[in-house]
Amino acid sequence: MHKFLVSFFLLATALVQALPVKTASATNADSPYTSQLHIASTFAMQDFVPDGNLEKDVWRQTQHVSFDTDWTGKRNFPELATEVASLWTEKFVYFAFRCKYSTLNVYEGDDSTKERWGLWDRDVVEVFLNPEPARLNHYYEFEVAPNNQWVDLEIDLDKHPFNEAAWDSDFEHVTRIDAKRHIWICEMRIPLSALKAKLKTGEVWRINFFRADGQGDDASRKFLCWSSVPASKANFHTPTRFGTIRFVR
């Protein structure tokens, strides 16, 4: 019996060590969160204003994650492959998206300096960010379209309506479209003050990344997400499926 337990322990240890990196932040048994996906946000020595240039050294030196699956995680769309990276400083958290596309579907003629309600009905990238993981149903939503239209929302699923449209983060964002290569990019920075949060090395928040793409109604459009949300219908507002973002140096 003793030899069996020792063998079992050695086997279990080997299996744990063999787990891929993305499961390193696995949730504990008491956590409502079920996603094991992880992204690292790298500390930047200096703040910078987004300009849509993702070739800057600061972006080259941070981790990128990618996704091309729909919300269920079962259907792949390599033609819509999306890369995401993150940086942080004592004042801001930054995100960068690089998105492949076939055609673009945006609202035409709107003033991009003003918030656009219903932006999710066109092509967008989205960050759902929860700086207080213990508050499962409270988080923030940031959306940017290829033509730099935007919307930001404070979400509280315990309230009705759950999306606070009047909330304004003053987040900054710039987009660029490379029509020749069929790639559009987005660079954004979010003030930590708007999130009522401070960051320190090793801090862990909850996060998910989404993308909406395509023409027509929801039945014909594609809804991609980083951490899948198994369901019969796309519902990005499923915070139990948020992965983790760890702020590192």
Closest CA to 93 of 55, 59, 42: 42
Separation between Cα atoms, residue 211 and residue 82, nearest integer Å: 8
Neighbours of 183 (CB within 10 A): 15
Q: Where are the beta strands (DSSP E) in the chain?
A: 38-43, 64-67, 82-88, 92-100, 124-130, 138-144, 150-156, 163-164, 172-178, 183-191, 204-213, 222-225, 243-248
| pTM: predicted TM-score of the whole model, two decimal places | 0.87
* Both tokens assigned to 178: 């490379």
Q: What is the mean pLDDT of each run of 10 residues along the chain (249 residues)?
A: 37 37 50 97 98 96 96 96 98 98 95 93 98 98 98 96 92 98 98 97 98 94 95 87 97
Using alpha carbons, list the distances in angstroms from residue 205 to 39, 86, 164: 10, 13, 21
Torsions phi, psi of 110, nearest 5?
A: -85, 155
Is the dihedral angle over the CA atoms 144, 145, 151, 156 positive or is it negative?
negative
pLDDT of residue 50: 98
pLDDT of residue 28: 65
Separation between Cα atoms, residue 138 and residue 158, nearest integer Å: 8
Closest CA to 32 of 240, 244, 243: 240
CATH number for the region 22-248 comes to 2.60.40.1190
pLDDT of residue 9: 33
Q: Which residues of 193-208 are buried (b: 16+ CB within 10 A; e: fewer)?
A: ebbebebeeeeebbbb
pLDDT of residue 164: 85
Torsions phi, psi of 139, nearest 5?
A: -160, 180
Half-sphere exposure for 124 (CA within 13 Å, toward CB): 22
Classify residue 166 as exposed, middle or buried by CB count within 10 Å of its CB (0-12, 13-18, 19+): exposed
